[in-house]
Amino acid sequence: MLWRAILGRFGISLVTLWVVSILIFIGTNLLPGDVAQIILGQTATPESTAALRAKLGLDKHPIEQYWVWLQNVMMGDLGISKAGLGAGLGTPIVEMLGPRVDNTLRLTLIVGAVAIPISLFLGLIAAMHPGTRLDRSITFATLNLISVPDFLVATALVLIFAVSLGWLPSIVYLRGDETGWVLLKTLAMPILTLVILVSSQIIRMTRATVLNVMSSPYIEMAILKGVPRRRIILRHALFNAVGPIVNVIALNLAWLVGGVVVVEQIFSYPGLAKLMIEAVQMRDMPLVQACAMIFCATYIVLIFIADIASILSNPRLRHPK
């Protein structure tokens, strides 16, 4: 039954990914006018436009174009960026993505490694002492932090740590050979911003889920038996709250990969999301498609993992009705 449930989730993920690829393809092909014409500009002769159209496969039927694109994507060929295409050969997108993926993954991993333990700890502390001053201040602070725009958090931190105190650089300037302490100092501002933003989400979710489990009958039983409160939370409640908590962690990790456009922009951090903004501003459609596919695939994979975690932690989910 366990394998069947997992296979079922896997099938749904694949179907979702497929629908996503169709949506992205339609979305990027809403473009009025002809990509070949846009690339070649005003001076294009009809012959050169036609040649480029044939080269890019634009003279085929849209469904055939989609099919070719899908096959290429599955083979790992994400196409050719518009950058430098006018001069002859464009840059393969895979080459452009490489360093950006490295940067994004580095930031995501550091932020995840810092934020997840902190927020689980604070969330549990708040849930252990509901209604106390500690709990109320944690709840109040996180509610405020999830309500404000991310650029407010970022600008406020810049104002404090870069302008007033002068401790940290306000812009990330990566040369590529930094290690250890220097690297950490360079990345400190975006890391701090993202840790604050991500933590407040996870803290709220952890607290809400654990408190929710705490109102179930078997916890009442444990309380009546006289089990100490700390043991109830750590042994009984936490394991039953794993599903939703893993889910919100997965959502936040996916957001760190694709949703941090604003933060990457403020600190001019060369990550994937900033690459996509640049692609949008340059109207570089193949690159936009590739980035969008990466973000959606990340989201779907992470949610799939979270689903499996909740199936493993809750045997009832193994038997879909």
Partner 1 sequence: MSEPSQETSASTQFDELPTAPPKRKIRLSWPGKIGVSVLIFWAIIVVIGPTIAPYHEADILDEELFIVPGSDEMYPDTDFQPPSSIVLLGSDYLGRDTLSRILFGARTTIGISLLATLLAYLIGVTLGIAAAVGSKFLDMCLSRVNDALLSIPSIMFALVLIAALNSPGIFWLILIAGFIYAASVFRIARSLGQEVMVSDFVEAAKVRGEGLWWIITREVLPNIAMPLATDFGLRFVWVILFISSLSFLGLGVQPPMSDWGSMVKENLSGLVYGSVAPLMPALAIATLTISVNMIVDDISAATGGKLAKRMIS
| Token reading at 209 | 């889920």
Q: State the amino acid at position 83 in one-letter form.
A: A
User: Residues 127, 295, 307, 311: which binds partner 1 (CB under 8 A)?
Assistant: 295
Asked whether position 28 contacts partner 1 by CB under 8 A, the answer is yes
Asked whether position 111 contacts partner 1 by CB under 8 A, the answer is no
Asked whether position 32 contacts partner 1 by CB under 8 A, the answer is yes
Count interface residues toward partner 1 (CB under 8 A).
Answer: 60
Asked whether position 271 contacts partner 1 by CB under 8 A, the answer is no
Shortest spacing between CB 288 and partner 1, in angstroms: 6
Q: Which span (70-78, 81-89, 126-134, 137-145) binds partner 1, by CB under 8 A?
A: 137-145
- For residues 155 and 85, give the distance between their C-alpha atoms in angstroms, rounded to a whole number: 37
Is residue 249 within 8 Å of 202, Cβ to Cβ?
A: yes
Q: State the amino acid at position 105 in one-letter form.
A: L
Residues 147-176 that bind partner 1 (CB under 8 A): 147-152, 155-156, 158-159, 163-164, 170
Shortest spacing between CB 180 and partner 1, in angstroms: 28
Identify the residue whose tokens are 């496969």: 57
End-to-end CA distance of the chain: 12
In this structure, how many other beta carbons lie within 10 angstroms of the beta carbon of residue 81?
23
Shortest spacing between CB 265 and partner 1, in angstroms: 6
Asked whether position 280 contacts partner 1 by CB under 8 A, the answer is yes
Is residue 277 within 8 Å of 260, Cβ to Cβ?
A: no
User: Residues 27, 57, 62, 92: which binds partner 1 (CB under 8 A)?
Assistant: 27
- For residues 176 and 25, give the distance between their C-alpha atoms in angstroms, rounded to a whole number: 34
Asked whether position 37 contacts partner 1 by CB under 8 A, the answer is no
| Token reading at 137 | 């201040």
Nearer to partner 1 among residue 225 and residue 321 (C-beta): 321
Nearer to partner 1 among residue 192 and residue 288 (C-beta): 288
Burial bucket for residue 13 (CB in 10 Å: 0-12, 13-18, 19+): middle
- For residues 37 and 137, give the distance between their C-alpha atoms in angstroms, rounded to a whole number: 58
User: CA of 58: how far to CAs of 24, 43, 255, in Å?
Assistant: 17, 20, 33
Shortest spacing between CB 20 and partner 1, in angstroms: 5
Shortest spacing between CB 67 and partner 1, in angstroms: 18
DSSP 29: T
Asked whether position 233 contacts partner 1 by CB under 8 A, the answer is no
Shortest spacing between CB 212 and partner 1, in angstroms: 7
- For residues 46 and 31, give the distance between their C-alpha atoms in angstroms, rounded to a whole number: 20
- For residues 151 and 50, give the distance between their C-alpha atoms in angstroms, rounded to a whole number: 45
For residue 306, the SS3 value is helix
Asked whether position 194 contacts partner 1 by CB under 8 A, the answer is no
Residues 115-134 that bind partner 1 (CB under 8 A): none
Q: Which span (56-64, 116-124, 125-133, 142-150) binds partner 1, by CB under 8 A?
A: 142-150
Mention every residue, 6+ apart, whose C-beta is less than 8 A from residue 77: 92, 94
Asked whether position 276 contacts partner 1 by CB under 8 A, the answer is yes
Shortest spacing between CB 118 and partner 1, in angstroms: 20
Positions that interact with partner 1 (CB under 8 A): 12, 15-16, 19-20, 23-24, 27-32, 140, 143-144, 146-152, 155-156, 158-159, 163-164, 170, 205, 208, 211-212, 244, 247-248, 254-255, 258-259, 261-262, 265-266, 273, 276-277, 279-280, 283, 285, 288, 291-292, 295-296, 299-300, 303
